[in-house]
Chains A and B, each alone.
Chain A
Amino acid sequence: MVSDETFFAWLDGELDPAEAARVEMEVAADAKLSAMAKDHRAMQERLMRAFDPLLGAPLPNPLVAAVRNLPLAEVVDLADARARRQLRHWPSAPQWGAMAATLAIGVLIGTIVPHQHEAAPVEVQGGKMYATAAIDRALDRQLASAPPGDVRVGLTFRDREGAICRSFTASASSGLACRENGRWMLRGIFAAPEGQTTDYRMAGGMDPNLAALVDSTMAGQPFDAKAEEQARSRGWR
């Protein structure tokens, strides 16, 4: 008589081949054990059918954001310091000047991402975050010199793998998206500090968390207006 433990170890494929063959024969010769094997297999299948749809379900945005952005919270001070150092080498880029002003104020600690319930700037597909229509359109068409609209594009540059990345500011968030498989995939998105949305945005500053992300992503220098326009005409490749 096979013990319960051995019976289930056989059912779960945990026995070595010789022992599995022995139990297999015993089960086949015993109607009660055969029925038990059938019932337990069916139960496991039903359990899996109930829980498996979660694997294909869209992830809640805060969850995806947590993965992408939490490390930044840890390194932001370090990266800030690095960004400040690098600023000295890029005195001419107006965006960086504005960023320096923002960083100097020191109170604008960007809230790490969305528990925001307004129209999401993010769309999650297969565990990756993409920009939604309005931002996607702005990233595709808009130049940094464009008059401020709902979405303002900031810096354009290449990352270490050579993909073009663009930072942007929307109504209550700012972020960084890079070109991947012909789409703008978000590398990070940050909610504006509570209550500071308008003034903060109008100052043209960059969220410190975003600044840190830009700093760690950028290879070389940000594009100037001409390079930005050329990149647009080549489809951001």
Chain B
Amino acid sequence: MDRSLSFEDGLSALLPRLRRFAHTLSRSPADADDLTQATVERALRSKSQWEPGTRLDSWLYRIMRNLWIDTVRSRGRREDLHAPVEEAERLGEDPRNAIEASIDLAKAMAAMQRLPEEQREIVALILIEGFGYRECSEILGLPIGTVSSRLVRGRTALLQMMGE
């Protein structure tokens, strides 16, 4: 009883962070809220799979990221997963695309969208959500070296897009 209460309280407390992560992945706020809701529903259904004593946030982020990948795949936007980084860099060379100092959420979301999926999730987890490299590699099930090299490419492309 207490344990299930603490699970739901933990989930409630993490909702704002999960929602922020959803916004870093999604194309629109509506998509982001759908993703957050789907994550909550999945988490509650899979509650028994969470091991008390382990990090609830990592577990929830993993659920959200996997749901997101499913969504992307089912939308047939597979190309996004492997979009060439050159495209993002090319977009960044046009000064009209440069983002000014006071970027708002919509602009930041648009910039993130130009990153290939595989870089975006890592940029989001480390630069925005504040996870360490190891936590990030555990959430994504990737070797740390892969996380590190994708992070270099992602943040470099993003810097160019944002007009440095």
Asked whether A5 lies within 8 Å of B37 as measured between CB atoms, the reply is no
A68 to B40, CA, bound (A): 10
A104 to B151, CA, bound (A): 59
In the complex, what residue of chain B is closest to A60 when comparing beta carbons? B33
Mostly helix, strand, loop or mixed at chain A's interface?
helix
Interface residues of B in 133-158 (CB under 8 A from A): 133, 145, 148-149, 151-152, 155-156, 158
Asked whether B8 lies within 8 Å of A12 as measured between CB atoms, the reply is no
Q: Quick check: is B16 within 8 A (CB to CB) of the other chain?
A: yes
Q: Quick check: is A56 within 8 A (CB to CB) of the other chain?
A: yes
Asked whether B20 lies within 8 Å of A51 as measured between CB atoms, the reply is yes
In the complex, what residue of chain B is closest to A6 when comparing beta carbons? B148
Interface residues of A in 20-51 (CB under 8 A from B): 39-40, 43-44, 46-51
Interface string of B45-72 (1 = CB under 8 A from A): 1010000000000000000000000000
Asked whether B127 lies within 8 Å of A8 as measured between CB atoms, the reply is no
CB of A20, distance to nearest CB on chain B (Å):
14
Interface residues of B in 106-149 (CB under 8 A from A): 107-108, 126-128, 132-133, 145, 148-149
In the complex, what residue of chain B is closest to A8 when comparing beta carbons? B152
Residues of chain B with a CB closer than 8 A to A64's CB: 12, 15
CB of A181, distance to nearest CB on chain B (Å):
15
Residues of chain A with a CB closer than 8 A to B133's CB: 9, 12, 14
Q: Quick check: is A199 within 8 A (CB to CB) of the other chain?
A: no
Asked whether A5 lies within 8 Å of B152 as measured between CB atoms, the reply is yes
Interface residues of B in 16-44 (CB under 8 A from A): 16-17, 19-20, 23-24, 33, 36-37, 40-41, 44
Mostly helix, strand, loop or mixed at chain B's interface?
helix
In the complex, what residue of chain A is closest to B33 when comparing beta carbons? A60
Residues of chain A with a CB closer than 8 A to B19's CB: 54, 57, 59, 63
Given contacts A60-B33, A63-B15, A67-B11, contact A46 B101 (CB under 8 A): yes
Q: Quick check: is A4 within 8 A (CB to CB) of the other chain?
A: yes
Q: Quick check: is A133 within 8 A (CB to CB) of the other chain?
A: no
Given contacts A12-B126, A71-B4, contact A52 B20 (CB under 8 A): yes
Residues of chain B with a CB closer than 8 A to A68's CB: 8, 12
Asked whether A63 lies within 8 Å of B103 as measured between CB atoms, the reply is no
Given contacts A5-B148, A5-B149, A59-B19, contact A39 B164 (CB under 8 A): yes
Asked whether A8 lies within 8 Å of B155 as measured between CB atoms, the reply is yes
Given contacts A48-B128, A51-B128, A64-B15, contact A43 B44 (CB under 8 A): no
Q: Quick check: is A202 within 8 A (CB to CB) of the other chain?
A: no
A232 to B151, CA, bound (A): 59
Q: Specify which of A4, A39, A54 is in contact with B23 (CB 8 Å cutoff).
A: A54
In the complex, what residue of chain B is closest to A39 when comparing beta carbons? B164
Asked whether A67 lies within 8 Å of B159 as measured between CB atoms, the reply is no
A56 to B16, CA, bound (A): 7
CB of B104, distance to nearest CB on chain A (Å):
6
CB of B54, distance to nearest CB on chain A (Å):
20
Asked whether A14 lies within 8 Å of B127 as measured between CB atoms, the reply is no
9 A-B interface contacts by CB (under 8 A): A14-B132, A51-B23, A51-B105, A63-B37, A63-B40, A66-B37, A66-B41, A70-B45, A74-B44
State the B residues within 8 Å of A (CB). 4, 8, 11-13, 15-17, 19-20, 23-24, 33, 36-37, 40-41, 44-45, 47, 99, 101, 103-105, 107-108, 126-128, 132-133, 145, 148-149, 151-152, 155-156, 158-159, 162, 164
State the A residues within 8 Å of B (CB). 4-5, 8-9, 12, 14, 39-40, 43-44, 46-57, 59-60, 62-64, 66-68, 70-71, 74, 127-128
